[in-house]
């Protein structure tokens, strides 16, 4: 399972535990309240750890992309025929500004990164 899926599963478990906690508070069930608090704390800690790992992974990818020798914004025509563009330029990496890597790099337009000019 990849990082994103694991993070999603942890968030689902946390949501279920929080619901269980609220229900136990309404019933004044002190044993389940205490257990739920411990589970919530543990899950929150795991989630923060996973988010840190995810941020490190994205930073590593964005550093590799930024290190490429050439980059330029892609025209609308190039974006429309992406298959042709990728076939003509070996090692082309296209980054959209709304993705996590795009936000990390700080681009405003769809940009192509490659080791040589295209």
Asked whether the beta carbons of 36 and 20 are under 8 A apart, the reply is: yes
User: What is the rounded CA–CA span in Å between residue 74 and residue 113?
Assistant: 10
User: What is the rounded CA–CA span in Å between residue 77 and residue 56?
Assistant: 34
Flag whether the pTM goes above 0.75. Answer: no
User: What is the rounded CA–CA span in Å between residue 106 and residue 13?
Assistant: 33
Tokens standing for residue 31: 């044993």
47-76 in b/e form (b: 16+ CB < 10 A) is: beebeeebeeebeebbeebeeeeebeebee
pLDDT at 1 over 80: no
Superfamily of domain 68-118: Uncharacterised protein PF10928, DUF2810 (3.30.1370.150)
Helix (H) or strand (E) holding 95: strand 93-95
Give mean pLDDT, residues 96-116: 93
Could you report the per-residue pLDDT of 2-31, keeping only the tens digit for each? 888 999 999 999 999 999 999 999 999 999
């Amino acid at each position: 399972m990849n990082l994103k899926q694991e993070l999603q599963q942890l968030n689902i478990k946390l949501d279920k535990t929080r619901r269980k906690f609220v229900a136990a508070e309404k019933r004044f069930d002190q044993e389940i309240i205490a257990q739920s608090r411990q589970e919530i704390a543990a899950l929150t800690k795991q989630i923060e750890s996973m988010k840190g790992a995810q941020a490190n992974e994205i930073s590593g990818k964005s550093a590799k992309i930024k290190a490429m020798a050439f980059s330029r914004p892609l025209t609308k025509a190039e974006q429309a025929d992406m298959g042709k563009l990728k076939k003509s330029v070996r090692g082309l990496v296209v980054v959209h500004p709304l993705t996590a890597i795009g936000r990390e790099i700080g681009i405003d337009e769809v940009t192509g990164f490659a080791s040589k000019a295209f």
